[in-house]
Structure 1
Amino acid sequence: MKTIGLIGKNVGMTNISLDNGMNVSCTIINVNTCYIIQIKTIKNDGYSSIQIGSGEKNIKNFNKSLLGHFKKSGVSPKKKLLEIKGDFDENSYKIGQLINVSIFNVGDTVNVTGISKGKGFQGVVKRHKFSGVGERSHGQHNRLRSAGSIGAGSTPSKVFKGKKMAGRMGNNKVTIKNLKILKIDIDRNLLIIKGSVPGNKNSFLMIKKKIWN
């Protein structure tokens, strides 16, 4: 088994009609030109993988070690890097090679990884779907969306780690698995995937597909 993948940008969502007449919600992903930056082999590095780069970034934002890394591949510095591990044929891939959406097929299922939308500091009702303490009654004040008791009495006299409480919500690395590719536009490097994906518009996404040999 090996994995292939690309880096793309979330363009947005739309509806399309399938052959059976059903309308489905889907996400359009612009797969920017991805280049192979590095190829690792079992002989030299202990494992086999390829590193893909995509997205332009101002050269002043890179340190010398990264600039040397890109210079060795002959590719301009890229904003996002993705390493894909697997048993790759060394003759099929070359450093500096351009990869596009042609590596996917309509009907493939892919895993899409991105950074979810940040929602800031949220309470337990929004963050963990708590129902609150209950109905407002005489004498209660601001208790409708409260978490309620968080302790376990005098024994053990502490709050256990992992307790669901208020805190920062979103802005996490999220992977949605088994999303189906509905359409592919090779000319414009677009993937149309059924369903939603993590992140805002114009955010970077990692699209991966597993191949069972």
Structure 2
Amino acid sequence: MEKRSRKKKSYTVVYFWFLIRILSGSFSFWLPHFRLFSILMDNNKGKATKTLATSLQNLNLNPQSNFKSKSSIAVINHPQFPGFLSKKKKPQSLVNLCIGVLGRHLEDIIEDLEEIAIGLPGDIKLAVAAIARRRKLLNDDVLIALADASWEILDVSGSDVSDFGLIKAAEVCRFIKALDISRCTKITAIGISELVKHCHSLETLRCGY
């Protein structure tokens, strides 16, 4: 049983490793290796991971490529199809899809979040923090793992973040301009005092219950 659990975790680590490469913008370098990932997923029962592997394996990352045939262009420009392009629903970006996957499986990667977050840009970390807050998973460990120097706004309202987590985050996020700590019962005047010492750009602080 322990061996099976360890094997499942290894699949999860590989899966989210590829998502991180996408979110950090370095996926094109690793695309030739994605066939190996697809083979690994064949041994896993996760239908979603197999689908993602197949989709990304066929992904065209060359924006200069001429992917439209002359016939398709002719159909789109045909007078019998007015407004064809304007009515077409814009698909979600690959980054947004990956953030959604990370959010849905956040519980599975909480223990490894500090290591995983190293490869993520600041705006993606902030999005993950927002998801964690909405799902009642935001605490000191999660906030410290995600804290990024580029953040200017932060909402930890209604979370389990305490003085310790707030102070540690403030040491990293020194350019915070707006912070919401309302309904955070574990944050006291001590944490706020230390916050002000580190974040000299702070303009808006929302607190209370």
TM-score, normalisation: structure 2 = 0.23
The structure whose residues are more often helix, as a share, is 2
The structure whose residues are more often strand, as a share, is 1
Larger Rg over CA atoms: 1
TM-score, normalisation: structure 1 = 0.22
